[in-house]
């Protein structure tokens, strides 16, 4: 059974992996906020458990078992976040820290029951896909708002960042998943975008915000 620390490493490896399932060790160290010697010794432990392949001076490669076990931790995290929002009435900005703890519970039945009670959701409250029981994750190809054109009608479907600060920023502007936005104009100078939605007739969103908003064109 993976320890809490190992599970956190697996999640980071999964998030950092490129299309060849490789992860740069120094990026892993900075994401985990640990020193290189610490990350090197952890990588050896992860290799012994069959989760990755490590060769000196090369990026590490996640094995299929590593990918699957990482996805299963992410599944527990996202199911928990969805449960907290849907069944317990938490705001989407309040759930991450709780899920960071609950994701380490080793009780498959607990999460199966949670899944069932919600009717088997496929996305979490921030629009990210929930991996299935086998650790398979569905690819969602949303556009970033920065890629859209003036005149388009789009629906907010996901976020590339779900930090509390960003979610509070969105709350303050009544922006949530499902909000339909009409793109009124794009500013050539700073790439900000002016949108209208609900009872907001004209709201300017900076490029920094737009690149974190994932949308579906209507």
Chain positions contacting Zn ion, by CB under 5 A: 96
Q: How many CA atoms lie within 13 A of 176 on its CB side?
A: 10
Helix H segments across the chain?
Answer: 4-16, 25-32, 36-48, 64-86, 96-102, 108-117, 164-172, 207-210
How near is the Cβ of 160 to Zn ion at its closest, in Å? 13
- Listing DSSP states for 18-57 in one string gives -TTSEE-HHHHHHHHT--HHHHHHHHHHHHHTTSEE--TT
Cα 127 from Cα 176, distance rounded (Å) = 10
Minimum Å gap between C-beta 51 and Zn ion is 21
User: What's the order of all strands across the beta sheet hosting 52-53?
Assistant: 22-23, 60-62, 52-53
Our CB check for Zn ion shows the closer of 54 and 90 to be: 90
For residues 80 and 101, is the Cβ–Cβ distance under 8 A?
no
**Cα gap 40→60, rounded to integer Å:** 10
User: Least distance in Å: CB of 43 to Zn ion?
Assistant: 24
Q: How far is the CB of 126 from Zn ion (least distance, A)?
A: 7
Which residue lies nearer to Zn ion by CB, 72 or 181?
72
Of the pair 11, 96, the CB lying nearest Zn ion is at: 96
Residue (75 or 96) nearer to Zn ion, CB: 96
Least gap, CB of 134 to Zn ion (angstroms): 21
Residue nearest to Zn ion (CB): 96
Which CB, 67 or 96, lies closer to Zn ion?
Answer: 96
Looking at the Cβ atoms of 68 and 78, the one nearer to Zn ion is 78
Burial 189-209 (b: 16+ CB within 10 A, else e): eeebbebebeeeeebebeeeb
Name the minimum Å distance from CB 86 to Zn ion. Answer: 15
Alpha carbon 109 to its chain's center: 24
């Amino acid at each position: 059974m993976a320890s809490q620390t190992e599970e956190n490493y697996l999640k980071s490896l999964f998030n950092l992996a490129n299309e060849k399932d490789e992860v740069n060790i120094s990026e892993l160290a900075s994401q985990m906020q640990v020193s290189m010697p610490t990350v090197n010794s952890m990588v050896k432990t992860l290799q012994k458990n069959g989760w990755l392949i490590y060769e000196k001076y090369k990026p590490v490669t996640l094995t299929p078992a590593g990918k699957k076990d990482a996805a299963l931790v992410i599944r527990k995290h996202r199911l928990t976040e969805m449960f907290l929002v849907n069944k317990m009435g938490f705001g989407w900005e309040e759930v991450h820290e709780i899920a960071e703890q609950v994701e380490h519970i080793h009780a498959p039945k607990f999460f199966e029951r949670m899944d069932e009670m919600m009717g088997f959701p496929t996305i979490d409250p921030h629009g990210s896909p929930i991996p299935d029981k086998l650790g398979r994750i569905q690819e969602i190809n949303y556009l970033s708002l920065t890629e859209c054109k003036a005149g388009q009608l789009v629906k907010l479907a996901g976020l590339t960042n779900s930090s509390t600060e960003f979610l509070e920023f969105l709350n303050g502007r009544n922006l949530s998943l499902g909000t339909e936005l009409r793109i009124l104009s794009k500013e050539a100078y700073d790439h900000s975008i002016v949108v209208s939605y609900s009872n907001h007739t004209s709201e300017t969103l900076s490029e920094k915000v737009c690149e974190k908003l994932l949308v579906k064109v209507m």
